[in-house]
Amino acid sequence: MARTPLTGWTLGWHSLTFVLVVVLLMAPAFWNGYPLVYYDSEDYVEMAFTFQPIVWRIMTYGVFCTVARFFGSLWALPLVHAILVTWVLHEAVMGFIGRWRHMVFLGVGLALALFTGLPWVASQLLADVFAGTAVLGVAALAFGEGLQPWRRAALGIITAISICVHMSHVAVAAGLLLVLLAMWGLSRFLRRMPRPRMGAASMAIICGILLVPTTHYFAMGRFVFTESGKVLQLALFVQNGVAKMYLDEVCPTGAQLEMCDHKDELPRTADEFLWGDSPFDEMGGWKALHDESEFIVDDAIRRFPLQVLGAAADNFVEQLDSIESGEDLVPMTWHFVRTMLRRYPDEFKAFRYARQQRRPPINFKPINDFQIPINQAAEVVTVGLLALAWRRRDRTTTGLALMVAAAIIGNAIVCGAISNPHDRYQNRVVWLALFTSVIGAVRLDQRFAGQRRLVIRAENDALEAENNKTSGV
């Protein structure tokens, strides 16, 4: 059943809370004096002007960055980030909460702003903010109730955009589609299992996934997702030692591999291999090593499956626990300068004198010391809510908690076990646990309140009947 349309004072109050949450999500950018810049930001901002593919990036977020080009300011990106995230948060609260929805929405916004790194992610010139938005959008489409058709359609569009802007989002979304299909099938046999609304949720996921190769087709004439996946996996194998183990075995037998000449020069980490002082560029870089990377990765998996699985498990555990805010938000006194001068010269002064560019760099330790225990506790609470909701047959809370738990685990697999563990990867989705904890607690309280009202009403009816009976006698 659709919710009653908002009008009058209620509409005004909702609009005010919406704006307040948007401001909260942009607070780090306001405090910094300019949007926060990450190392990857330069490539995406450049792609918005050149529309030329960069082999280690996907084009979709570069296309999204044309928003800033249209407005002539990079401030447009964190503003649009905050508006879209706030929209999804609002619709999720509207779909999951029955009463006092505007108050719950404002409370959720305050909790996420104070206790998670979401505002720091939203304030960056980076696609990371959409990782959690994609998951929450799918969950709201699948299990939310009472959203009007146009709002459900808008939520589906935002969810699809959130999925397409990064390949890790695509992989996690594909996994969530499998989870939804499994839940839908099991709901035919398990009465406690929530049955998701597959139409809008699956459409948003499929459209979001297909937007990536479609964008690449129009940009470079090839219907592909990415051309750097195997190179990234090779870099991970360099970091976990599988590449050295493989090369030590095959190179003495005469294997015709470029890496054989450099097997004793490999660095310790994947980042150093790709971006540091390593033989990677000498061997030809991303394009030249594409085919060789694919061969080495596939053959190494075949020869050393247990070592690969063991390394993947270690990386998964490391990624799951890596949730600090502020990774690599360091002074950009040399990086991004050329892009600023070329593309947004009028904002160069604001960029140059932002707090991020000052010395010493922004200290995230007090923030992390405060937020990390809260987020870890929220993850535990989410699992507990899932068990409680399952026992109490609260299918909506069960569905939300299942999706969030699956997404957090799936993100750690995709970004840790398959890619390379980094704090920013898990930090961008861990806020979903706190959202689920708040929503689950409110739903539990409202359910108990409803049951108490029914009990009190029944007791009052019984008392009235007894009084009437006594009066009649």
* DSSP string over 19-30: HHHHHHHTHHHH
Q: What is the pLDDT of residues 93-151, one digit of tens each?
A: 999 987 778 889 999 999 999 999 999 999 999 999 999 999 999 999 999 988 889 99
368 and 284 share one domain: no
250 and 288 share one domain: yes
Please tell me the predicted confidence (pLDDT) of residue 459: 41
50 and 144 share one domain: yes
142 and 86 share one domain: yes
420 part of a folded domain: no
Q: State which residues form the domain around 389.
A: 8-225+329-404+432-456
Please tell me the predicted confidence (pLDDT) of residue 226: 83
Q: What is the pLDDT of residues 153-184, one digit of tens each?
A: 999 999 999 999 999 999 999 999 999 999 99
Please state the φ and ψ torsions of residue 138, each to the nearest 5 degrees: -65, -45
2 part of a folded domain: no
What angle separates helix 423-472 from helix 101-115, to the nearest 10 degrees? Answer: 150
366 and 387 share one domain: yes
242 part of a folded domain: yes
Q: Is residue 404 a contact partner of residue 443, using CB atoms and an 8 Å limit?
A: no
367 part of a folded domain: yes
248 and 157 share one domain: no
464 part of a folded domain: no
293 and 333 share one domain: no
The residue from 254, 286, 303 where one domain ends is 303
- Global pTM? 0.90
Please tell me the predicted confidence (pLDDT) of residue 169: 96
Neighbour count for residue 5 (Cβ, 10 Å): 8
80 and 185 share one domain: yes
211 and 235 share one domain: no
Which residues make Cβ contacts (< 8 Å) with residue 104, sequence separation at least 6? 93, 97, 438, 439, 442
82 and 194 share one domain: yes
Please tell me the predicted confidence (pLDDT) of residue 333: 84
The residue from 268, 303, 338 where one domain ends is 303
338 part of a folded domain: yes
215 and 264 share one domain: no
279 and 211 share one domain: no
Please tell me the predicted confidence (pLDDT) of residue 331: 94
180 part of a folded domain: yes
Distance CA 232, CA 274 (A): 8
422 part of a folded domain: no
Please tell me the predicted confidence (pLDDT) of residue 66: 96
Ranges of residues in the chain whose predicted pLDDT is under 70 = 1-11, 446-473
Q: What is the dihedral of CA 22, 26, 27, 31, to 10 degrees?
A: -150
Number of domains the chain is built from: 2
